[in-house]
Chain A
């Protein structure tokens, strides 16, 4: 092992200093102070963080008002499907969870009348629909894919979910979690997707089941769902808790 001498790292220090200098001289005085505090430390919110959070909550309300329960996301011909459809998660593709379909159970909790867990086979007995829609990522890219599964409103009805509740929350096999508003959960195109293309949902796209919400950004489409709960207490989400806007409607 090579021992580090101060001479080895000094050029780096210089570069960091130079970068800091550039940043201070270029980011227009007051803005320098602002850039340091942009929801990058949720544990210690400062004044700017609170303003940005407040505006984000305001935007949640505006988006809920703009959201139409009947307006459909545009659908595309199968020839428009993006190939290969990109993999995206907070980990690399090789780390995607391995879920055993034979022992898998979808758990239900919260304001739901019938909380019996569901097997994949039981889910497949419910009405099935498929659609080709555009998946839009919060990063700005988009891709068109085909998902098939159970219309979520059918499932919520079947389990006796309280449709007057505010939120539907999701917990996933990879530790991911998220939540959506009830009107979006009941939207005709919101699917409990079991298929991608014409085949069973592969591991990289969320086996055995993901939520497909064509009226929301990609990160509001949790994969590998293991629990669904209905609640009036704001459940947040993996990215939402770090600062992404909660509603994130399209």
Chain B
């Protein structure tokens, strides 16, 4: 991938790191995800699947009815926004250009390089670990939505619920998808904290020229 450092996320202005659609859907998604996760924890607490509950103070909704109302309101924001992002990702070539290919060898090499702080962070191009994480979280979000649909409508969408192993198992799938997303979020925010110069471009779309080719050291 010799041309990687030259290809920016989009065919637009050369200094555009993130296209507008990606930036808007990213922050709408972050907001919707947080509403879904925090209200979901409260719903989980009403009938825990495993031997623990989430601290009520960390949850959204004040009581089960409130949490469900939040969850079933924010799900529309999450799903519609996610759809816009995925359609854009495929139609514009953003996914193919920036998330693909993901080769296990590259992931391993980049992962080792990152651990030894030898991995250069080039704004506008994702290394293989990032590609894997981003494609992975898009998959997890889709899994959360599909499993969510199957436990919301286990009769009307019965074939879907059946595919996911029935109502009770689909609940577990839904929980695991949430857990994976929370895990991603922890790593994701830690990495942004480690390389803070990535933060402003996710809002403005542009990087200060001096930051181009910056390394994490």
Contacts and interface: CB of A to CB of B under 8 A. Distances in A.
B58 A26 contact: yes
Interface string B52-96: 000001111111111111101100100000000000000000000
Nearest to A141: B47
Interface in B23-72: 34, 38, 43-44, 46-47, 49, 57-70, 72
Contacts of B158: 71, 74
Contacts of A67: 156
A27 B59 CA distance: 8
A245 interface: yes
B47 A35 contact: no
Contacts of A136: 154, 167
Contacts of B69: 38-39, 52-53, 55-56, 243, 245
How many interface residues does chain A have, given as a range?
35 or more
Interface string A41-57: 00000000001110110
B176 interface: no
The CB with the most chain A CB atoms within 10 A, among B69, B73, B76, is that of B69
A26 B41 CA distance: 14
Interface in B125-178: 153-156, 158, 167-168, 171
Interface string A30-42: 0100111111100
A37 B62 CA distance: 8
A95 to B, nearest CB: 21
Contact of A40 (B66, B72, B154): B66
Contacts of A40: 62-63, 66
B63 A134 contact: no
B73 A214 contact: no
A246 to B, nearest CB: 12
A140 interface: yes
A28 interface: yes
A38 B46 contact: no
A56 B171 CA distance: 22
Contacts of B63: 38-40, 243
Interface residues of B, number: 32
A180 to B, nearest CB: 14
A242 B153 CA distance: 22
B47 A245 contact: no
Contact of B65 (A22, A34, A39, A58): A39
A239 interface: yes
A250 B154 contact: yes
B168 A142 contact: yes
Nearest to A21: B57
Contact of B34 (A28, A37, A214): A28
Given A52-B70, A139-B46, A214-B155, A26 B60 contact: no
B64 A138 contact: yes
Contact of A55 (B57, B64, B72, B155): B72
Interface of B: 34, 38, 43-44, 46-47, 49, 57-70, 72-73, 76, 153-156, 158, 167-168, 171
14 contacts: A23-B57, A27-B57, A35-B61, A38-B60, A38-B67, A52-B73, A63-B153, A66-B156, A138-B68, A142-B167, A215-B156, A243-B63, A244-B65, A249-B156
Given A22-B57, A40-B62, 11 more contacts: A23-B57, A38-B61, A51-B73, A56-B69, A63-B153, A66-B156, A139-B64, A141-B47, A142-B167, A242-B65, A244-B65
Q: Which are the 4 A-B pairs with shortest beta-carbon distances? A: A38-B66, A55-B73, A243-B65, A140-B47
